[in-house]
A and B are shown apart, each in its own frame.
Chain A
Amino acid sequence: MTSVSVKDLRLSFGQVTVLDQLNLDIQEGEFLVLLGSSGCGKSTLLNCIAGLLDITDGQIFINGRNVTWDEPKDRGIGMVFQSYALYPQMTVEKNLSFGLKVAKMPQGEIDKRVARAAEILQIGPLLKRKPSELSGGQRQRVAIGRALVRDVDVFLFDEPLSNLDAKLRSELRVEIKRLHQSLKNTMIYVTHDQIEALTLADRIAIMKGGVIQQLADPNTIYNAPKNMFVAGFIGSPSMNFLRGEIAADAAGRPAVVAGGVTFSLDGYHAGETLVPGRKVVLGVRPEHVKVDEPGGTGEVHEATVDIEEPMGADNLLWLKHAGHTMAVRTAGSRRFSPGTRVRLTFDMTLASLFDAESEERI
């Protein structure tokens, strides 16, 4: 069953149209991540779903009910903000119970719900404190608790972790995932951190300029990006893009000639026929190149190590190869000094091929 459904949504601030003709269906219990660079309209979309912005056109359904004109409180949503947005003059307990008090819920039920949220989020000892007496991680927990006590079907998160330091962020990320697994609510989560997106999401919607570029599970997004924007946005370091054109290799099979070298496309599943001479971009992720190793599908290429970046678990090499610079990931235990000649093989089953003009996947 669809939990949240956005139909032909349009939102303009005066003359500026931020979202146009946006459609999105989210399944019940799904964890959907909205990912995109700053200013692409993620928060705007979330605010539209929450009812905090009056939309210009289109419809929004939550649990099969048309909530387009409903107030935020009547939509069955809870929201967590980047800046926590805790009421500074109230204690943690008051913060958690404010919404319930407004809804005139009996005190006994309020106490029960606050206690339950405090237990789930382990903020019991903090209930009597003011937000200013909490650390960043504790504040964010309280903010999540505020959504939790309302016992809603849909959770909306707007970059809830981006004000925290790296260590806390990864801790809370795991906690949010655990929360989702135990509550099984629908969650819509805005972030510009691709690690958060890949680790948390059932599906990721990648946005650019108010348009959803691709909506798919993390694996598909990572391995079969729909266009060059998605391919370049996900993955760090970014996918290597080799500009060239379609040709036939020695055996007459399709190949890409880029920078004077030939990459056989053996094993690549193209969605359309590859006409020789077509301008294309071959995309290869750094971890899909083998260095000085047997195996791999295509021919062997020669390259020179330019810079080595050891990162502990793995070792990132920047190579000079047929006129372009290429990032390649190897095991952390393998070391290469600059200037070394290495032999590369490419795994074409995991590569991506894009049209040079439209930048769409072929």
Chain B
Amino acid sequence: MSDRGHLKKTAHLAEVPASWESGPRGARPRRLLSTRTIVVYGTLFVAAAYYLLPLYVMIVTSLKGMPEIRLGNIFSPPLEITFEPWVKAWSSACTGLNCDGLSRGFWNSVMITVPSTAISIAIASINGYALSNWRFKGADIFFTILIVGAFIPYQVMLYPIVIVLREIGLYGSLSGLVIVHTIFGMPILTLLFRNYFAGLPEELFKAARVDGAGFWGIYLKIMVPMSLPIFVVAMILQVTGIWNDFLFGVVFTRPEYYPMTVQLNNIVNSVQGVKEYNVNMAATILTGAVPLLVYFVSGRLFVRGIAAGAVKG
């Protein structure tokens, strides 16, 4: 009906009412200060301030000398900027037994995080690929066991794992901790990869098989190049998770292998001497810098990967 009416109007331009020409046209105008924009931006501002204020306090405190901190104005910017606390936190703060700062913990954490992340992602992606594409006998049972594993609280498994590691002679070593991180990352990562691969078109996999590619050929040449976003997601999950880990680091390693988080705790909670707030703040920022950097560098890919996973189920 409306179509016909419209045709008539264009056919007899003379009958067009005057309002047709003066009426709304083009993009709808937006008022700059509507209630909606105020509410939206207000909420965003409050949320941003809530997260940024502590960070601000930490940064300014870490740049002040101790006398200035004792004045008590925690929000005021430093009168005299000093990097002394940062240097001390990195290279000479006392962490329990020795006094060579966080640097030792940093390198320990790197040596824990890099292999744990790489190994767990490599294994989990192959698991997920096999589970979603090759549907071997018992695949469903295997997957169910893996998922159940994801829901068992860590605390329950701590002591048994200590015993297992002791029996195989890896207790207290870096490689023991790497193994623990790899195993604990497995359920969630496998789930992540399985769902992503299951969302890729099945015919692609079939075409590759007809083309003669085998298990590894399809994985390396077809699946991996198509799945960059999900690898980035997995990497972010693992790097931040492992870097921020405290519990496993304390339980499974000796003091000389303590990761950065454990050393940070030892610096901040040391009972001897005065509390050096500026050094503590600098040490905290240094410890948090790596996950922060990972977010900044790959945050965009992270969002895209999560979104892709959501759409493709």
Quick one: which of A72, A83, A146 contacts B209, CB cutoff 8 A? A72
| Stretch binding the partner chain, chosen from A74-82, A255-263, A346-354 | A74-82
B183 interfacial by beta-carbon distance below 8 Å: no
B211 interfacial by beta-carbon distance below 8 Å: yes
**Count of chain B residues with a beta carbon within 8 Å of a chain A beta carbon:** 16
Q: Do B212 and A52 have beta carbons less than 8 Å apart? A: no
B147 interfacial by beta-carbon distance below 8 Å: no
B203 partner residues in chain A, CB cutoff 8 A: 81-83, 85
Q: Do B222 and A72 have beta carbons less than 8 Å apart? A: no
Q: How far is the CA of A103 from the CA of B217 in the complex (A)?
A: 11
Measured between C-beta atoms, what is the minimum distance from B248 to chain A in Å? 37
Q: Which residue of A lies closest to B213 (CB)?
A: A102
Q: Which residue of B lies closest to A152 (CB)?
A: B210
A44 interfacial by beta-carbon distance below 8 Å: no
- Write the B197-220 contact mask toward A (1 if CB under 8 angstroms, else 0): 000010110111111110001000
B217 partner residues in chain A, CB cutoff 8 A: 102
Q: Which residue of A lies closest to B201 (CB)?
A: A83
Q: How far is the CA of A146 from the CA of B207 in the complex (A)?
A: 9
Q: Do A52 and B208 have beta carbons less than 8 Å apart? A: no
Q: How far is the CA of A146 from the CA of B204 in the complex (A)?
A: 13
- Write the A258-299 contact mask toward B (1 if CB under 8 angstroms, else 0): 000000000000000000000000000000000000000000
Given contacts A83-B201, A85-B201, A85-B204, contact A77 B210 (CB under 8 A): yes
Q: Do B211 and A73 have beta carbons less than 8 Å apart? A: yes
B226 interfacial by beta-carbon distance below 8 Å: yes
B54 interfacial by beta-carbon distance below 8 Å: no
Q: Which residue of B lies closest to A98 (CB)?
A: B211
A87 interfacial by beta-carbon distance below 8 Å: yes
Given contacts A83-B203, A85-B201, contact A52 B225 (CB under 8 A): no
Q: Which residue of A lies closest to B212 (CB)?
A: A73
Q: How far is the CA of A146 from the CA of B208 in the complex (A)?
A: 11
- Write the A58-84 contact mask toward B (1 if CB under 8 angstroms, else 0): 000000000000011100011101110
Q: Which residue of A lies closest to B200 (CB)?
A: A88
A146 partner residues in chain B, CB cutoff 8 A: 207, 211
Quick one: which of B204, B206, B212, B226 contacts A47, CB cutoff 8 A? B206
Which residues of chain B (157-171) have a CB below 8 Å from chain A? Answer: none
Given contacts A87-B222, A89-B226, A102-B217, contact A52 B201 (CB under 8 A): no
B201 partner residues in chain A, CB cutoff 8 A: 83, 85
A6 interfacial by beta-carbon distance below 8 Å: no
Q: How far is the CA of A87 from the CA of B207 in the complex (A)?
A: 9
- Write the B207-241 contact mask toward A (1 if CB under 8 angstroms, else 0): 11111110001000110011000000000000000
Q: How far is the CA of A174 from the CA of B221 in the complex (A)?
A: 34
Q: How far is the CA of A83 from the CA of B221 in the complex (A)?
A: 20
Q: Do B225 and A102 have beta carbons less than 8 Å apart? A: no
Q: How far is the CA of A41 from the CA of B221 in the complex (A)?
A: 31
Q: Which residue of A lies closest to B207 (CB)?
A: A85
A232 interfacial by beta-carbon distance below 8 Å: no
Q: How far is the CA of A78 from the CA of B211 in the complex (A)?
A: 8
Q: How far is the CA of A103 from the CA of B213 in the complex (A)?
A: 9
Q: Which residue of A lies closest to B209 (CB)?
A: A72
- Write the A321-337 contact mask toward B (1 if CB under 8 angstroms, else 0): 00000000000000000
Given contacts A52-B206, A82-B203, A85-B204, contact A99 B226 (CB under 8 A): no
Measured between C-beta atoms, what is the minimum distance from A119 to chain B in Å? 21
A50 interfacial by beta-carbon distance below 8 Å: yes
Measured between C-beta atoms, what is the minimum distance from A178 to chain B in Å? 23
Q: Do B206 and A87 have beta carbons less than 8 Å apart? A: no
Q: How far is the CA of A88 from the CA of B203 in the complex (A)?
A: 12
Given contacts A87-B222, A89-B225, A89-B226, contact A102 B206 (CB under 8 A): no
Residue of B203, B207, B226 with highest tally of chain A CB at under 10 A? B207
A99 partner residues in chain B, CB cutoff 8 A: 210-213
B206 partner residues in chain A, CB cutoff 8 A: 47, 50, 52, 79, 81, 85
Q: Do A81 and B207 have beta carbons less than 8 Å apart? A: yes
B213 partner residues in chain A, CB cutoff 8 A: 98-99, 102
Q: Which residue of B lies closest to A147 (CB)?
A: B210
Q: Do A50 and B226 have beta carbons less than 8 Å apart? A: no
Measured between C-beta atoms, what is the minimum distance from B266 to chain A in Å? 47
Q: Do B210 and A87 have beta carbons less than 8 Å apart? A: no
Which residues of chain A (76-118) have a CB below 8 Å from chain B? Answer: 77-79, 81-83, 85-89, 98-99, 102-103
Q: Which residue of A lies closest to B228 (CB)?
A: A89
Residue of B201, B210, B225, B226 with highest tally of chain A CB at under 10 A? B210
Q: How far is the CA of A78 from the CA of B221 in the complex (A)?
A: 20
Quick one: which of A52, A83, A89 contacts B210, CB cutoff 8 A? A52
Measured between C-beta atoms, what is the minimum distance from A261 to chain B in Å? 43
Residue of A47, A99, A146 with highest tally of chain B CB at under 10 A? A99
Measured between C-beta atoms, what is the minimum distance from B50 to chain A in Å? 42
B210 partner residues in chain A, CB cutoff 8 A: 50, 52, 72-73, 77-79, 99
Measured between C-beta atoms, what is the minimum distance from A328 to chain B in Å? 32
Q: How far is the CA of A82 from the CA of B203 in the complex (A)?
A: 8
Q: Which residues of A contact B (CB under 8 A)?
A: 47, 50, 52, 71-73, 77-79, 81-83, 85-89, 98-99, 102-103, 146, 150
Q: A50-B206, A85-B201, A103-B212 are in contact. List 5 more A-B contacts (CB 8 A).
A: A73-B211, A79-B206, A89-B226, A99-B211, A99-B213
- What are 18 A-B contacts with C-beta separation under 8 Å? A50-B206, A50-B210, A52-B209, A72-B212, A73-B209, A78-B210, A79-B207, A79-B210, A81-B203, A82-B203, A83-B203, A85-B204, A86-B207, A87-B221, A87-B226, A89-B226, A103-B212, A146-B207
